[in-house]
Structure 1
Amino acid sequence: MKYYNKLVRDRIPEIMEEHGKKYEIRTLDQEEYIEMLHQKLYEELREFDAASEENQLLELVDMVEVIYALVKSKGYGIDDFESLRIAKKEKRGGFKEKIFLISGEE
């Protein structure tokens, strides 16, 4: 038996069962859940960095799913998150222009 000890998507036990695989799971409390979401975000970032060009989009999808779970765990909705994201983008801009700041006064 391989030990994973990590947060997985909700349907993973169902998928494992469909493939005749045995597994052991438990439900995390809220504090553990948030800690594991943080770890999962770093895991997904590492997977993005290691992914081939054609798989990077899938890894970004995974990162967004974790981010949305973190947003919800903080008591906010995705609409709240998107409103803040858009407001910040309107105020400070996005990253479309590829600007690299070399120096500046503090």
Structure 2
Amino acid sequence: MTEYDKLVRDRIPEVIRENDERPVTHVAEGEEYRRRLREKLCEEAEEFRESGDPKELADVLEVIDTIRDAEKIEDETLAALREEKADERGRFEEGIVLERVEQRSE
């Protein structure tokens, strides 16, 4: 027996049954569902960070899209928020790494 206690893709229980194993599941709803989606986002982002595999990045995007749906955030709203933040603080295109902030000497 292996314990997981994590959100999985909808067809995973079916895949487990096809392997002659028995999945024990429940359906997360409401706040539990939203919390588990946030946890899943961190899990998938960590997997992409470790591997750099585009399939893992696709998983990140899948979770983001599901979170957007669960939180009822329109594509246009999210795009506008991205642009607003980019206008205020920039993007990540230049690869700037902030090493430290030093106090100005007067």
Does TM, scored on the shorter chain, surpass 0.5? yes
> Structure 1 residue 22 and structure 2 residue 22: aligned?
yes
State the alpha-carbon separation in 1 of the partners of residues 3 and 95 from structure 2: 42
Structure 2: gaps of 5 or more residues: none
* Equivalent AA in structure 1 for residue 69 of structure 2: K
Q: 1:43 maps to what in 2?
A: 43
2:59 is aligned with 1:62: yes
Q: 2:19, 2:83 → 1: CA distance?
A: 42
Given the two structures, how large is their TM-score scaled by the length of structure 2?
Answer: 0.74
Which residue is 2:3 aligned to? 3
Q: Is 1:77 the equivalent of 2:74?
A: yes
Q: Greater CA radius of gyration, 1 or 2?
A: 2
Normalised TM-score (structure 1): 0.74
Question: Aligned pair in 2 of structure 1 residues 62, 104: CA closer, same or farther (>3 Å)?
Answer: farther
Residue identity (%): 36
CA distance in 2, matches of 1:3, 1:99: 41
Letter in 2 for 1:96: E
> Which structure 1 segments of 5+ residues have no match?
none
- The AA in structure 1 aligned to 2:38 is H
Superposition deviation, residue 103 in structure 1: 5.0
User: C-alpha distance in 1, partners of 2:102/2:68?
Assistant: 33
